[in-house]
Homo-oligomer: A and B are copies of this chain.
Amino acid sequence: MQPPYKTRVSELFNIDYPIIQAGMIWCSGWRLASAVSNAGGLGLIGSGSMYPDVLRQHIQKCKAATDKPFGVNIPLLYPSIEEHMQIILEEGVQVVFTSAGNPKTWTKQLKDAGIKVVHVTASTTFAKKAEDAGCDAIVAEGFEAGGHNGREETTTMVLIPMVADAVKIPVIAAGGIANGRGMMAALALGAEGVQVGSRFVATPESSAHDNFKNVVINTPEGGTMLSMKQLVPVRLVKNKFFTEIDEMEKRGAPIEEIFNHLGRARAKKECLRATLTRANWSLARLLPM
């Protein structure tokens, strides 16, 4: 059976397949984003690990590498958010995915500039807020997603039908989707597109270190767990660092101790060198990739 590739999501972005490559720090620069867009999906530059001038370079390189639509993912709590948005507007980016913040803050300004705006949420409540803020679509991200997650632990299977019922704008499903079966399931649940992350980490065009790519490929079923729930929930590979954090949480360690153990720039080190955890942009030191 031919999947229904033509949906409101594919029409919104003018793409062949309603498949979005998630913006992921240290992994999704212009190479990955342009490759996905050239293949008929929507590539996203993950700006959360980029200084403003680095973001500008990636946008310019992406424009040179594809004449297809692409977008930029911007975590709204990014410290240089004003500069990032200015670059988005100056460079004529057509699509922005926002996350980790209030969609009211920036959506109108971006929409007034003719930009298509999508907000990432993990609950029906925030999906409605994104719709009210004027977003063109929302990403509904389930508990099983990589990176940061909502505290409510609502899974993709449960979340998508509720969000699809609650909003009129199209829903892009995320979390646990890595192939055609997952995409078909998401469409059956009421989504009109999918956002895929980890699967795209493990591609030649991803800027992650090969060690990190191999961890993504080789981590077995049950090999990740949502952790650091008191600090900021994030899905970790079960390795030495995870075990240390898990032991701290089980003995009720104070949040400062967990924060100190996390340290700085861990996500960068791990994506680019040491392969310890999954992306953790909000706590990582922001350095050019």
A157 touches B157 (CB 8 A): yes
A2 interfacial by beta-carbon distance below 8 Å: no
Which residues of B are found within 8 Å of A159, using beta-carbon distances?
A: 221
Which residues of B are found within 8 Å of A175, using beta-carbon distances?
A: 155, 157
A124 touches B182 (CB 8 A): no
Which residues of B are found within 8 Å of A73, using beta-carbon distances?
A: none
CB A287 to nearest CB in B, in angstroms, measures: 32
Stretch at the interface among A5-13, A110-118, A183-191, A266-274: A183-191
Interface residues of A in 226-254 (CB under 8 A from B): 226, 230, 249-252
A157 touches B154 (CB 8 A): no
Which residues of B are found within 8 Å of A125, using beta-carbon distances?
A: 221
Interface residues of A in 131-156 (CB under 8 A from B): 142-144, 150, 152-156
Interface residues of A in 180-204 (CB under 8 A from B): 181-182, 184-186, 188-190
Interface residues of A in 76-133 (CB under 8 A from B): 123-125
CB A238 to nearest CB in B, in angstroms, measures: 10
B190 touches A181 (CB 8 A): yes
Complex: A184 Cα to B190 Cα, angstroms:
11
Which residues of B are found within 8 Å of A226, using beta-carbon distances?
A: 153
CB A186 to nearest CB in B, in angstroms, measures: 8
Q: With A179-B161, A182-B161, A188-B184 in contact, is A156–B155 under 8 Å at CB?
A: yes
B177 touches A157 (CB 8 A): yes
Complex: A130 Cα to B251 Cα, angstroms:
36
Which residues of B are found within 8 Å of A156, using beta-carbon distances?
A: 155, 157
Q: Which residue of chain B is the closest to A124 with respect to CB atoms?
A: B221
Interface string of A62-83 (1 = CB under 8 A from B): 0000000000000000000000
A contact residues vs B (CB 8 Å cutoff)? 123-125, 142-144, 150, 152-159, 161-162, 175-177, 179, 181-182, 184-186, 188-190, 221-222, 225-226, 230, 249-252
Write 14 A-B pairs (CB below 8 A) sorted by A numbering.
Answer: A123-B221, A124-B221, A142-B155, A143-B144, A152-B222, A154-B222, A155-B156, A155-B176, A156-B157, A157-B182, A181-B189, A181-B190, A185-B188, A188-B188
